[in-house]
């Protein structure tokens, strides 16, 4: 993906658009992840690092921190399952990613589904709350979905993709020193990444998303970085939306590397039953 957290991270914002959490509540317990993994401890350095490091050095070290080019370029597809925990409900979720920019994210409870996808040309969604069948995403939400489906993520090969990244310097955030990066994607979305100054792993991302046709400020906390094979990704995401007193947390349960996934899985269906 780049491979990294951004394989998954932007997609998680989709969960914040759900408007019917009580109706889709799932109270069943979760089983533990079945993947062999090693969790990496996150250190908190007390000494301020030098700010003379270049943007290229930061991005190169970030790439190495999540596994490096060889390991990530060997990945062609990814699949993860997990649960999103809110104040009143728990949602089961799954996501599929395929190079270079195909993805699909599903939320399911019983026979009810919410999903969004991008087939490389058309971003679309299926929302049971509207009862209108599959619809094409438009405007900022469409751009967010396109960014979500970048298999390598916006921090990798950003110039080739038309993204702009600005190094803002060293900042102390939540008791740790971080390299702050402003990322403006080719679609026009802007986020601020905070990379731990010792590990070079992102631990917080600030940005904006669209909820009920309104653009709101968001903060995402990333944690529980786990090494599976040769790659490292965060398995825990906490979402905070300005004006919302509660938070949402995503916990990844399983992760499959290079599963077989057909392109048809990402195409917009003509009828809801075509999704079955």
The domain over range 5-28+49-268 is classified in CATH as 3.40.800.20: no
Residue 216 pLDDT > 50: yes
Residue 250 pLDDT > 70: yes
Question: Are 266 and 102 spatial neighbours (Cβ–Cβ below 8 Å)?
Answer: yes
pLDDT in tens, 189-204: 899 999 999 999 999 9
Q: Give the pLDDT score at 56.
A: 96
pLDDT category, 14, cuts 50, 70, 90? very low
Mean per-residue pLDDT of the chain: 81
Residue 148 pLDDT > 90: no
Residue 33 pLDDT > 70: no
pLDDT in tens, 48-80: 887 789 999 999 999 999 999 999 999 999 999
Q: Give the pLDDT score at 43.
A: 54
Domain boundaries, the chain: 5-28+49-268
How large is the average pLDDT for residues 10-15?
38
Strongest mean pLDDT among 164-168, 235-239, 248-252: 164-168
Q: Give the pLDDT score at 174.
A: 87
Radius of gyration, CA atoms only, the chain: 18
Which two tokens mark 36?
Answer: 């062999």
Q: Give the pLDDT score at 99.
A: 93
Residue 166 pLDDT > 70: yes
Q: Give the pLDDT score at 3.
A: 29
Which of 3-7, 216-220, 237-241 is predicted with the least confidence, judged by mean pLDDT? 3-7
pLDDT category, 259, cuts 50, 70, 90? very high
Q: Give the pLDDT score at 103.
A: 95
Residue 35 pLDDT > 50: no
Higher pLDDT, 175 or 11: 175
Confidence (pTM) = 0.80
pLDDT category, 91, cuts 50, 70, 90? confident
How large is the average pLDDT for residues 110-134?
84
pLDDT in tens, 149-161: 998 889 999 999 9
Higher pLDDT, 140 or 182: 182
Q: Is the peptide bond before 100 cis (omega within 30 degrees of 0)?
A: yes
How large is the average pLDDT for residues 209-219?
79
Question: Are 215 and 17 spatial neighbours (Cβ–Cβ below 8 Å)?
Answer: no
How large is the average pLDDT for residues 123-127?
89
Higher pLDDT, 86 or 12: 86
């Amino acid at each position: 993906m780049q491979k990294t957290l951004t394989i998954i991270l932007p997609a998680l914002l989709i969960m914040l658009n759900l408007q019917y959490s009580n109706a889709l509540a799932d109270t069943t317990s979760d089983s533990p992840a079945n993947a062999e993994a090693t969790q990496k401890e996150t250190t908190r350095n007390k000494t301020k690092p030098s700010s003379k490091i270049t943007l290229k050095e930061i991005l190169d070290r970030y790439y190495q921190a999540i596994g490096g080019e060889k390991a990530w370029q060997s990945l062609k597809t990814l699949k993860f399952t997990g649960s999103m925990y809110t104040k009143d409900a728990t949602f089961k979720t799954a996501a599929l990613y395929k190079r270079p920019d195909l993805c699909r994210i599903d939320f399911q409870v019983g026979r009810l589904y919410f999903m969004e996808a991008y087939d490389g040309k058309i971003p679309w969604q299926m929302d049971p709350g509207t009862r209108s069948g599959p619809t094409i995403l438009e405007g900022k939400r469409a751009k967010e979905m396109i960014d979500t489906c970048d298999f390598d993520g916006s921090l990798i090969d950003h110039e080739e993709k038309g993204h702009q990244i600005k190094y803002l310097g060293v900042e102390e955030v939540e008791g740790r020193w971080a390299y702050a990066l402003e990322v403006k994607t080719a679609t026009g979305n802007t986020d601020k990444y905070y990379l731990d100054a010792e590990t070079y792993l992102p631990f917080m991302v600030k940005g904006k998303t669209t909820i009920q046709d309104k653009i709101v400020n968001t903060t995402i906390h990333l944690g529980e970085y786990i090494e599976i094979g040769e790659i490292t990704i965060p398995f825990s995401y906490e979402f905070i939306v300005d004006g919302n007193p509660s938070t949402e947390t995503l916990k990844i349960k399983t992760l499959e590397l290079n599963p077989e996934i057909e392109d048809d899985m990402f195409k917009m269906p003509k009828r809801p039953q075509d999704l079955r």
